Each structure stands twice: as C-alpha cells, then as structure tokens.
Structure 1
Amino acid sequence: MFNIMIIDDNEQLQNELSSLLIRNGYEIIKVKEFNNIIGVVKERTPHLIILDINLPQDDGFKICTEIRSFSKVPIIFVTSRNTNIDELMSITLGGDDFVTKPYNTQILLARINSLLKRAYPNERAVDVIEYNAVRLNILSSSIEYNGQEVELTKNELKILHYLLNNRGKIVSRVDIMEYLWDSSLFVNDNTLTVNINRIRNKVEELGVKDFIKTKRGQGYII
C-alpha cells in the first residue's frame, strides 16, 4: 500500500484530504510539527508528498528544494495560491504537479494515481487482503475461506474492501456511502443495507459467522 505524506497546516483540510485518501486505499502520514519537516520526510520515506506553499515556517518552495537534494519522491503542490508564477516556481523547483484549492477530488485522485504509476512501475497496491483467514481478492472480486470462493459484485467488493481497510474500527453508514460516492458508485441507505446483508450471506456461505458486526446507532465493524 502506498504511503502519502500531507504537509499542510490547515488541520481541517488536512483531515478532509486524509479521509479521502484513506477511503481510496492509501496510508497517510500527517505532518503536525513544521520545524523538522525534512527530518520527517527522511524518516518516514513516503511514496508521494502533497505539499502546501503557505506553511508556518519555511514555505513549500523551500521544502521542495530541500527534498529534491536527496529524494525523487513525487511532489504535488496543493495550494490556494493560483498565479502563473506560483505554478511556474512549483514545477521549476522540482514539483511534479500543481493543483489549486478547491480541487475536484476525482481529478486529484487521478493525478495521484498517475504519478504513483510512473514513479513506481513495478509496484502495485495490495491485491489481496486477509483477516481471520478470510481473503478478499481485489483483482478477481471474490472472497475466499478454507479453499472455497464466492464472487462479489462491484458494490460488495468496494464495501468489504473499505471495511477491511478499517478493520477494528466502527465505520458509519454515512462514511461507506461517501466512500462509494467518491468511487463513482452511488448507493442510497436502502441499497447499502441490501449490500451489507448480501456480503454477510456470502461470507456465511463460506462458513464464517459474525464477520461484519453491527454497532447499533453507530455503524459496522470487522
């Protein structure tokens, strides 16, 4: 799984972007202290960096220049500054892309995906997620347990993938519907209930009970 570092001092925007990326299968590194950004980059070695220009201490241009002295990690400037000079500076100093706020989430995700593919052509996202001997096969859209396999629909795959990526945490129904919306798959409340029940039935067909638990008034948890 790819790690994306977010360097932005706006906590609300940082949290919103983090949620979006997590819902789409990325791991997140949030920079909270801005007096040692370079040290954090060297220590955590992210696969990609999302960098704002306006930061509390050194600005994004200087940070980008320092990172380029030791790393080729892809850098996307995501900023409210939208002049031609800002974009030119970003690219000249080593940035790989320049996105202005407010941004279209699907376009940002597409640019992130494109950069990661170019930078790491031999690496892929995890194709199989396993938990308690239940295996979710992303490429074949199926679940497997004890040598038996059942196919999933596109919605079922996305829902189970999201729940497994957040295993151990309660996931609300709203979170799941927003995740599907960001993935260009729309479901309403009733459709979500139907899909959850179908997933449960398919997992039970394989001999696994209570794989997805309901937390009344809160959501679901694996």
Structure 2
Amino acid sequence: MSNKILVVDDQASVRQLLQDYLSEQGFKVITATDGQNAIYTARHEEPDLILLDIMMPRMDGYDFLRQYRQERQTPVIIITAREEETDAVVGLELGADDYVIKPFRMRELVARIHAVLRRKDEASEKFALYREGDLVLDERTHTITMKNTPVSLTPIEFDLLRMLMRSPGRVFSRSELIDQLADSGFTGLDSTLNVHIRNLRTKIEPDPAKPLYIDTVFGVGYRFMKAE
C-alpha cells in the first residue's frame, strides 16, 4: 500500500512539481495551499507524512505545527526557502522531524522521506517496554506515559528517548547519539540535537531546569538516570 504524503505550499508550481515527482516514486500525494487548508486536509486524509512550507499566507508552517502537534504526531519535514539555521531550529522545536532548504534535490528529498517513514515503521515493529520511575516507554504501542498520562513525542524524540532508556546510566557522547540516530534517518546537526534534548526535557521532566531523567555530562554528552 502506497504511503500518503500531504504537500503544503502556497506556490502552485512547487505543489505540482512535488506531486508529479513523488507520484512517479510510488507515493499517493495530496496537497494544501496554506496551514488552515492543511489542518482540514490532514484531519480528513490522515497522511503518513507531511511536507510543510514555512512561509505561507493565512496560517504559516509554524502555526500549523503548533496546532497540529496538539492533535497528532504525523512525521513532518519542513521545506523552507530560508537559509538561516534558526528557522529550521524553530521548526524542530515545534515538533518537525527534519528539514530541507529550497532549492533542494528531489533525490535527497525522497531519501529523507524514506528515512523518516522507515524510522516510523521500525519503531512500531519492536515490542520492548522500558520503565523508570513514573516514566514508561512502550515500543509495542509506540507510546510514552508519565504517571499514566500520555506524552506526545515526535518520531525523532521517541527514538532518542528509547536509545537513552535502553542503557540507563550509560553516558552517550553527542557524536554517538548523532551517529546512532543517523541509522534511523536523523540528518540534523549538533545544534539540532540540543533542540531534541530540550524538547524531551520539557515533555517528560517535572522540572526541565533540574532534570531527573536526562542528565547532561558536561563536555561529553547525555545519559538517562535510573529512578531512585
């Protein structure tokens, strides 16, 4: 069964280009012209992945992410014409999984799409359960709970937390985390790893400023702390 991709861009030429190329690659492609249209379309079409432009009228990509991430955790790849790294970082902070900058190479974009979808599929096929204190990660259902309350994570955040929870107490260097996440499709930079760690702490720590679970080992990397 073909994966369904929602392309969100206010430029008709970009939508048509992506629709034609991705359709040739075997994807089912639907489109939206702005964030408001994308919210409606995503709710009804339930895409497997969203390609999201940032600069759009009515509702831009950032506002779309803010609203949509409250509802679902569908993988999102940002497409932006801006070259500043801060724009990509903002998108990642809001829950995007990856980003590409216009003009981009179609083969690279398709590779990123496959990587994100593969990461999503692999996560759903493994069945371990990890528990530390009030935090539970269930690979069978691909869910996180804190004190029995569901916690919404992006696919990258889920993979990162799972990696840390598999080896509590072990210190992972920053480069090791980036390398291991690359195996599951992560293509970000060292600075974007910071964003994902900060997002995780915001979502699972009682006090993100004084983390109980994800500990920083200065000059080295991070480790997951065992519950006391």
- The TM-score with structure 2 as length reference comes to 0.51
Q: 2:67 aligned with 1:76, yes or no?
A: no
Structure 2 residue aligned with 1:85:
86
Structure 1 partner of 2:111: 110
Q: Distance in 1 between matches of 2:34 and 2:80?
A: 19
Cα RMSD for the two superposed structures: 1.6
Q: 2: distance between equivalents of 1:69 and 1:10?
A: 26
Q: What SS does the corresponding residue of 1:77 show, helix, strand or coil?
A: strand
Q: Which residue of 2 aligns with 1:98?
A: 99
The Cα shift of 1:105 comes to 1.1
Match of 2:43 in 1: 42
Q: Which amino acid aligns with 2:57?
A: P
Indicate the SS of the match to 1:25: coil
Runs of 4+ in 1 over 4 A off after TM superposition: none
Name structure 2 gaps, 5 residues minimum. Answer: 126-228
Q: Which residue of 2 aligns with 1:120?
A: 121
Q: Aligned-pair distance for 1:34?
A: 5.2
SS in structure 2 at match of 1:120 = helix
Rg (Cα) greater in structure = 1
Q: Distance in 2 between matches of 1:40 and 1:106?
A: 26
Give the deviation of 1:81 after TM superposition: 1.3
**Residues 50-61 of structure 1 correspond to what in structure 2 (within 5 A)?**
50-61=51-62
2:64 match: secondary structure: helix
Shift of 1:79: 1.3
- 1:68-217 matches, cutoff 5 A: 68-121=69-122
User: 1:17 and 2:18 equivalent?
Assistant: yes
Give the structure 2 partner of residue 26 of structure 1: 27
Deviation at 1:40, TM superposition (A): 1.6
Segments of 5+ residues of structure 1 without an aligned counterpart are: 124-222
Distance 1:21 1:73 in 2: 18
Letter in 1 for 2:98: D
Give the equivalent residue in structure 2 for 1:149.
none
- Aligned counterparts of 2:69 and 2:91: Cα–Cα separation in 1: 12
Give the Cα–Cα distance (whole angstroms) in 2 for the partners of residues 36 and 104 of structure 1.
26
**Alpha-carbon distance, 1:56 to partner:** 1.1
Percent of aligned positions that are identical: 31
Any idea what SS the aligned residue of 1:20 has? helix
The one-letter amino acid paired with 1:12 is: S
- Distance apart, 1:120 and its partner CA: 2.2
Deviations 1:50-100 (A, max 9, x none): 000011111101101111111110000011012121011011110000100
Which residue matches 1:177? none
Matches of 2:26 and 2:37, distance apart in 1: 27
- C-alpha distance in 1 between matches for 2:5 and 2:31: 9
**Count of residue correspondences:** 123
Q: Distance in 2 between matches of 1:37 and 1:118?
A: 23
Letter in 1 for 2:101: T
Give the Cα–Cα distance (whole angstroms) in 2 for the partners of residues 33 and 88 of structure 1. Answer: 21
| Aligned CA distance change for structure 1 residues 5 and 114 (closer, same or farther; 3 Å) | same
TM-score with structure 1 length normalisation? 0.53
